[in-house]
């Protein structure tokens, strides 16, 4: 675990800057989702995201990050995360996860979604929906809990309630985010004894559960990036960047700030006014 004293807490203007980056990510992912269909290559989708980010005057968080060669990560079927876009042609029934980050004025946004292409296996649809449910339950827990590790409790609760023995990937977890894409603290997707850092205004994190239809054990391919399930079971990945504000949460990478999905879970998002929802957040 990262040391708690290294957490970067954001003030009001910094949260607003991260919201700007988050909206660029949301727009890029929306464009990718709209274009995704059988017959399209993962490289085609990467180019679409790159164009949206460039048109917004932003920069991609991933391109060049430790040598990563693309704008987004696109992971298909047994690939969990960090799949490199290229000539691969998407096929009917594929489970496709897309992860995107963008930088505006030095501040990062990070988000991911999964979807199943037409002719879907109902079990794959349930996997994707359960992972999305786990994401939003984890985010809602930030509004209701006192310590960060309530996120992992919420994700495990969703998996247990589903009645399906999904694997919860442990090697790859959520993270703090701000002036760097990956910062302290780690955001676990599974239950642990430790409670984690106290939740306080100014904390910004990326919540990102990853579930599999089989075992949670992972393997990295020869490209040194693509992470797959060791048993080749299919996987799904969802992510949002979330700011904790004095008056509640704001999902920085959701167009509506998370209002719809959090409202379904009994959580209201923080009011977004000119002075910013984190006006009293710590610097």
Residues 68 and 75: their CA atoms lie apart, in Å, by: 14
Do the beta carbons of residue 188 and residue 2 sit within 8 Å?
Answer: no
With tokens 């894409």, the residue in question is 181
Q: Phi-psi bin for 171: left (phi > 0), alpha (psi -120 to 50), beta?
A: alpha
pLDDT at 5: 55
Q: Which tokens belong to 103? A: 């930088």
pLDDT at 271: 85
Residues 235 and 250: their CA atoms lie apart, in Å, by: 27
Asked, for residue 76, whether it belongs to a domain, the answer is yes
Asked, for residue 11, whether it belongs to a domain, the answer is yes
Asked, for residue 272, whether it belongs to a domain, the answer is no
Q: Tell me the per-residue pLDDT of 261-277, one tens digit each, with 9 for 90 and over.
A: 999 999 999 987 544 44
pLDDT at 60: 98
- Residue 78: which of 189, 238, 231, 217 has the closest Cα? 231
Dihedral pair phi/psi, residue 253, rounded to 5°: -105, 10
Q: What is the DSSP letter of 198?
A: B
Asked, for residue 269, whether it belongs to a domain, the answer is no
pLDDT at 224: 97
C-alpha distances in Å from residue 103, one per residue of 94, 196, 263: 30, 28, 28
Residues 258 and 276: their CA atoms lie apart, in Å, by: 16
Asked, for residue 21, whether it belongs to a domain, the answer is yes
- Residue 185, preceding bond cis, omega within 30 degrees? yes
**What's the whole-number average pLDDT of the chain?**
94
pLDDT at 170: 96
pLDDT at 276: 43
Asked, for residue 236, whether it belongs to a domain, the answer is yes
- Residue 148: which of 187, 108, 122 has the closest Cα? 187
pLDDT at 149: 97
Q: Which residues of the chain have pLDDT under 70?
A: 1-5, 273-283
pLDDT at 99: 98
Q: Is 67 exposed, middle or buried (0-12, 13-18, 19+ CB in 10 A)?
A: exposed
Count of structural domains, the chain: 1
Asked, for residue 163, whether it belongs to a domain, the answer is yes
Which range of residues forms the domain containing residue 119? 4-264
Query: Tell me, what CATH number does 21's domain have?
Result: 3.90.230.10
pLDDT at 275: 44
- For residue 167, the cross-strand partners are 212
pLDDT at 3: 43
Q: Tell me the per-residue pLDDT of 212-234, one tens digit each, with 9 for 90 and over.
A: 999 999 999 999 999 999 999 99
Asked, for residue 90, whether it belongs to a domain, the answer is yes
Collapsing DSSP to helix, strand or coil, 50 comes out as helix
């Amino acid at each position: 675990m990262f040391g708690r004293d290294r957490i970067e807490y954001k003030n009001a203007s910094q949260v607003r800057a991260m919201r700007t980056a988050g909206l660029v990510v949301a727009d890029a992912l929306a464009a990718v989702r709209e274009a995704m269909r059988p017959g399209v290559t993962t490289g085609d989708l990467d180019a679409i995201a790159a164009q949206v980010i460039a048109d917004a005057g932003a920069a991609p968080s991933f391109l060049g990050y430790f040598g990563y060669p693309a704008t987004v990560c696109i992971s298909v079927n047994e690939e969990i995360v960090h799949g490199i876009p290229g000539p691969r042609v998407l096929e009917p029934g594929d489970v496709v996860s897309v992860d995107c980050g963008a930088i505006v004025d030095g501040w990062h946004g990070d988000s991911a979604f999964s979807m199943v292409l037409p002719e879907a296996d109902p079990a794959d649809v349930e996997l994707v929906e359960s992972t999305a449910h786990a994401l939003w339950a984890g985010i809602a827990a930030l509004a209701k809990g006192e310590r960060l590790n309530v996120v992992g409790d919420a994700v495990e609760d969703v998996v247990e309630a589903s009645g399906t023995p999904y694997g919860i990937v442990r090697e790859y977890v959520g993270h703090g985010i701000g002036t760097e894409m990956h910062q302290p603290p780690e955001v676990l997707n599974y239950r642990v004894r430790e409670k984690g850092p106290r939740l306080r205004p100014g904390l910004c994190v990326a919540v990102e559960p990853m579930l599999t239809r089989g075992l949670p054990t992972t393997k990295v391919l020869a490209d040194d990036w693509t992470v797959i399930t060791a048993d080749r079971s299919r996987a799904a990945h969802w992510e949002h960047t979330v700011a904790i504000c004095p008056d509640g949460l704001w999902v920085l990478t959701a167009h509506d700030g998370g209002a719809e999905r959090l409202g379904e879970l009994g959580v209201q998002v923080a009011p977004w006014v000119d002075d910013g929802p984190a006006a009293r957040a710590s610097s």
